Structure 1
């Protein structure tokens, strides 16, 4: 194992492990657990309808007693899932309320969002900083939970850091909420960029984008697709093109959470086709635009079971989140990380378009990315397989502090550090020749062994707070004195 930089990092014992009690409800249709299988819903509904009244009441009572406390509004969930499946009933209104609840229960199951792993943390300041003592900061920690089938979602924890290197975390107990999803409206320029990004520029996409209003919604898109000339729809690949347009548009959505839910109870669950197998590696940053307006942004990786694509979350206060696809030639791989503010009038991001070299990308609007310039590639033995970032750059008077990850022999992950010029981030001021953090002997075993990895740290009161996942088994916290790290980077040079 490669040794880490001596005397810089202090590990702290407090951390998070996967919590199997964090569960959400999902629609369950028996017989459709695997592709290309036949639904058994009709037969199940018939059996529910045949149950005697006494059996209905006792079974519903057991369901509510056993599960109501585990979910925010179980009755609404059961009603909703019953309504989804009621198309198989001749007269859905004939069902009494209790039998309807039981029908919904048979088409509902729990999913443990962290049953397999917990990893990929990123740390940002909380939107509320009231009620704190001197030297303290309230923070939000985003966490990637992985459940059955390797499906990833984004959860949160909150805590207070300081004074000094003290950290206190709030409990994550309570029912988990996936919020209420609503489709967004979209701009024509975004749709044009999205279809270009997909190499899908043809007469169907050109016709649709030319006839849509600006902005447009789901009704407008359905109308434009229905109005396409039949001769265009006869062309080879037409069905695939129209389907892709629908997928691109519906991949943009907003999820809102009730104001009385604790942030730790909110869960961003994958809903679109592009992220059907997970929302991975969210890198949150507190972003301030040129007008001084601050909010939260996070890049994450959408995984559909075959391919990955970078996407963006935007939120004013972590109560409502808007999600949409990123476009452009620099937005084609995992691990994008946004700078916390524009630099020289441009949005900047770290990316890894070739899969192994960390690069700098630019954007005029923060959504379409281009101008990829290589920054730092696989050089040292501990990073010879690939190099990437471990979160958004952190601004210091000496330059942009960038935490990196490198992959070495036996696919061992380590965390390193770079320092970029403040005015010209394409110029490296310093690079640690050795890792900042490597897997300790008690951190090597887990869901993905021999890995330490972070999606973003935070600087507070002269200390770098570095959350990191160890082998996807637990999330721990380390601290680094910023001045000492900067001195080591400046001494090392580029």
Structure 2
């Protein structure tokens, strides 16, 4: 095993382990567990309707006793899933309230969001810093949970650092919630760039965009698509173009959480088709604009089962989160990490477009990325396969400190460090010749699933 640099890293005794008890509810339609199979919903509903009221009451009591404490507003979840499936009932209003809840329970199941692993943390200051003694700071740790079927989501933990190397982490308790999708609104310029990024730039997209207000919502988009001239719609591929416009906007969304939930109870769950197989490797940063205004931003990898796409999360206070597609030639592959402020009037990010080299990209607005400049490729023995970043750069008086990860033979990961120039981060000031940290023997045991996406890491 390649040795690490001694004396520069403190290993803390507190581990973050995957908790199979962290579960969320999902809609379940029997017979559709595998795509393109026959739904058995009609027969199931008929059996529920045929039950005598006494059986309904006893079955529902068991469900509520077993699951109410595991989920926030559990009865409302059952009611919602019953409403989704009530289109198969001639007169849904004829059902008693208790039978509706039992019907909803038949179309609901639990999903363990950390059944396989917990990994890929990133650390930012907590929105609240009140009530702390000098030398202490409250922080938020984002965590990638890998659940059943290798589906990834983004969760959180909170704690207090300091004084010195001390850490105190809060228990991750209470029911987990995925929040609610908010009313969507989009920028017309962003839509134009997102469609061009996907190679969808034609007369239909140009016509629709020209009719949209700025910003626009779903109603505006529906109106623009329905007003298209029939002669444009007769052109080859017109239907596919309209579908892609809808898909691009649907993939950019905002989700909000109740203010009375703890951060550790909030879960960013895949919503759009672009991330249907997972939201992976979020790298959060507390971003400060030139105006002094601060916000939380994170890049993450969306995986649809075939391809990966870097995406952006934005949040003012970690209560609501807006997700967007990133565009431009440098917005590809995995592992983008944002700088915490503008440098030379530009947004900067570390990236890895070729899958193995740490590079630097620039953007005028934080969403469209280009100008990729290689910084460091695989060269040392501990990074022969690929190198990447471990998160956003840290600003120090000496320069931008970048923790890196290298992958060596047997896909063993090690952590190293680069120092970039403060005013010109494309220039490397220094690099550690040996890794800061390598796995101990016990850190190589247990469930360590590799990513389901290409260019893992």
TM-score normalised by length of structure 2: 0.97
- CA distance in 1: counterparts of 2:302 and 2:2, whole angstroms: 32
- CA distance in 2: counterparts of 1:251 and 1:414, whole angstroms: 34
Q: Say yes or no: does 1:204 pair with 2:186.
A: no
Q: Say yes or no: does 1:288 pair with 2:318.
A: no
Superposition CA RMSD, Å: 1.5
The residue that corresponds to 2:11 in the other structure is: 11
- CA distance in 1: counterparts of 2:68 and 2:450, whole angstroms: 40
The residue that corresponds to 2:340 in the other structure is: 340
- CA distance in 1: counterparts of 2:266 and 2:394, whole angstroms: 26
> Greater relative contact order (Cα 8 A, min sep 6): structure 1 or 2?
1
- CA distance in 1: counterparts of 2:174 and 2:6, whole angstroms: 41
Out of 1-10 and 308-317, give the one that drifted further.
1-10
Rate the CA distance shift 1:230–1:445 in 2: closer, same or farther, 3 A: farther
Rate the CA distance shift 1:66–1:450 in 2: closer, same or farther, 3 A: closer
The residue that corresponds to 2:428 in the other structure is: 428
Q: Per-residue CA shift, 1:237-271, capped at 9, x if unaligned?
A: 32222211111101111111111111111111111
Number of corresponding residues? 453
Q: Say yes or no: does 1:413 pair with 2:413.
A: yes
The residue that corresponds to 1:50 in the other structure is: 50
- CA distance in 2: counterparts of 1:110 and 1:74, whole angstroms: 12
Shift of 1:408: 1.3
Q: How does 1:258-277 map to 2 (within 5 A)?
A: 258-277=258-277
Q: Per-residue CA shift, 1:75-134, capped at 9, x if unaligned?
A: 100000000000111111111101000000000001010011100011111111111112
Q: Per-residue CA shift, 1:181-212, capped at 9, x if unaligned?
A: 11421111100100111011122211211221
- CA distance in 1: counterparts of 2:334 and 2:352, whole angstroms: 7
- CA distance in 1: counterparts of 2:243 and 2:26, whole angstroms: 25
Q: Per-residue CA shift, 1:316-338, capped at 9, x if unaligned?
A: 11111111111111101111100
Q: Say yes or no: does 1:392 pair with 2:397.
A: no
Rate the CA distance shift 1:416–1:449 in 2: closer, same or farther, 3 A: farther
The residue that corresponds to 1:63 in the other structure is: 63
- CA distance in 1: counterparts of 2:436 and 2:427, whole angstroms: 21
Shift of 1:449: 6.8
Shift of 1:450: 9.7
Q: Gaps spanning 5+ residues in structure 1: where? A: 452-470, 473-494
Q: Gaps spanning 5+ residues in structure 2: where? A: none
Q: Say yes or no: does 1:240 pair with 2:240.
A: yes
The residue that corresponds to 1:404 in the other structure is: 404
The residue that corresponds to 1:173 in the other structure is: 173
- CA distance in 1: counterparts of 2:346 and 2:261, whole angstroms: 36
- CA distance in 2: counterparts of 1:52 and 1:450, whole angstroms: 50
Residue 335 of structure 2 aligns to a residue whose secondary structure is: coil
Q: Say yes or no: does 1:329 pair with 2:329.
A: yes
Q: How does 1:301-380 map to 2 (within 5 A)?
A: 301-380=301-380
Q: How does 1:142-181 map to 2 (within 5 A)?
A: 142-181=142-181
Residue 235 of structure 1 aligns to a residue whose secondary structure is: coil
